[in-house]
Amino acid sequence: MQGIRRYWLFVLLATLLFVWSIGNTVALRNLLIGLILLGLLPLAKASLGYFREIKAGAPWGWFLAVTAWLVLQALFISPETNWALTNIRGQWIKAALCLFLGYGVVFWGKEKGFSRGTLCLVVAGALGVECLAHALDSLWLWWQQGVPPLSVSRVTGSKERISYVNNLFFSILAAEVVARLNGTPRLLPVSRKWVVFGLVVVYFNSWVIGARNGEIGALALTVSAAFLVLIAQRHRLGTKRLGAVLAGLLVFLSALGYLGYKSDGRWNTLWEQAQIGWQTDTYRFWLNAQKYPRPLDSEGREVSLSNYLRIAWIKEGVKIIADTPWGVGYGRTAFGHALAKRYPEDNPRLGAHSHSGIIDWTIGTGWLGLILWLGFVGVGMKQGVKKYVAWSDPAALMLLFVVTGYFSRSLVDSNIRDHMLEQFMFLYGFFYALCCWGLEAPLAVTGAKDTHE
* Three-state secondary structure readout of 268-315: HHHHHHHHHHHCCCCCCCCCCCCCCCCCECCCCCECCHHHHHHHHHHH
DSSP 97-111: HHHHHHHHHHHHHHH
Do residues 170 and 164 touch, judged by C-beta distance below 8 A?
no
pLDDT at site 36: 95
d(CA 127, CA 15): 10
pLDDT at site 4: 62
Global pTM value: 0.92
pLDDT at site 313: 92
Weakly modelled stretches of the chain, pLDDT under 50: 1, 440-453
pLDDT at site 353: 83
CA dihedral over 252, 310, 17, 228, signed as positive or negative = positive
pLDDT at site 442: 42
pLDDT at site 213: 87
E strands, 314-381, where? none
| 117-118-124 Cα angle (round to 5) | 85
pLDDT at site 5: 62
pLDDT at site 449: 44
pLDDT at site 437: 83
- Over the range 267-283, which residues count as b (16 or more CB within 10 Å of their CB) and which as e? eebbeebbebbeebeeb
d(CA 81, CA 71): 9
Query: 23-27 long-range contacts, Cβ below 8 Å, gap at least 24?
Result: 23/156, 23/157, 23/158, 23/161, 24/157
| Direct distance between the N- and C-terminal alpha carbons of the chain, in angstroms, rounded to an integer | 32
392 Cβ partners below 8 Å, 6+ apart?
179, 182, 184, 185, 443
pLDDT at site 443: 44
